[in-house]
């Protein structure tokens, strides 16, 4: 959701946690559905996938779901979106600097590459450079 500049961090964090909890509650309906071939983010500033949990691909990784997602799509291709200035990374993971988020994205990419070799999948990681948490980060 597009964030208003006057929103306090506490309001922003509550919004992110609400969206995250909804995604956690709904993930069982789509995580093993091989027809879902793209994962985006709920943030209005970023690209959308077939499903859009907060954090996009980072949600899959941090919630321990990336392996399940790829295993259910063995031999398939698609897109996984992640973005900098991510509210999920800021609030849920506590990554309050761009440098910390970039490092998490780098680690995600390594995990994705490793798991894709295991499951024979070919999902493109698309990293975007905008997100609604910019106002709530150190840099």
Predicted local distance difference test score (pLDDT) of residue 6: 60
pLDDT of residue 54: 97
User: Is 70 exceeded by the pLDDT of residue 34?
Assistant: yes
Assess if residue 2 is contained within a domain.
Answer: no
The answer to whether position 1 is within a domain reads no
Average pLDDT score over residue span 65-84: 98
Q: What is the pTM of this model?
A: 0.92
Domain span at 72? 9-136
- Residue 3 falls inside a structural domain: no
pLDDT of 1 higher than 50: no
The pLDDT, as a whole number, for residue 3 is 47
Q: Mind listing the pLDDT tens digit for each residue in 43-59?
A: 888 889 999 999 999 99
| Alpha helix segments (H runs only) across the chain | 9-26, 57-62, 66-71, 87-91, 98-119
Instruction: Establish if 4 belongs to a structural domain.
Output: no
State the total domains in the chain.
1
């Amino acid at each position: 959701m597009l964030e208003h500049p006057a929103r306090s961090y506490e309001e922003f964090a509550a919004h992110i946690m609400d969206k995250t909890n909804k995604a956690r509650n709904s993930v069982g309906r789509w995580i093993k559905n091989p027809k879902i071939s793209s994962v985006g983010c709920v943030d209005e500033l970023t690209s959308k996938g077939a499903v859009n949990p907060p954090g996009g691909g980072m949600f899959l990784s941090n919630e321990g779901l990336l392996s399940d997602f790829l295993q259910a799509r063995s031999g398939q291709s698609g897109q996984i979106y992640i973005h900098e200035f991510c509210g999920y990374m800021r609030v849920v993971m506590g990554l309050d600097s761009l440098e910390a988020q970039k490092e998490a994205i780098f680690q995600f990419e390594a995990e994705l590459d490793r798991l894709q070799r295991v499951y024979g999948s070919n999902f493109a990681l698309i990293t975007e450079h905008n997100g609604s948490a910019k106002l709530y980060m150190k840099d």
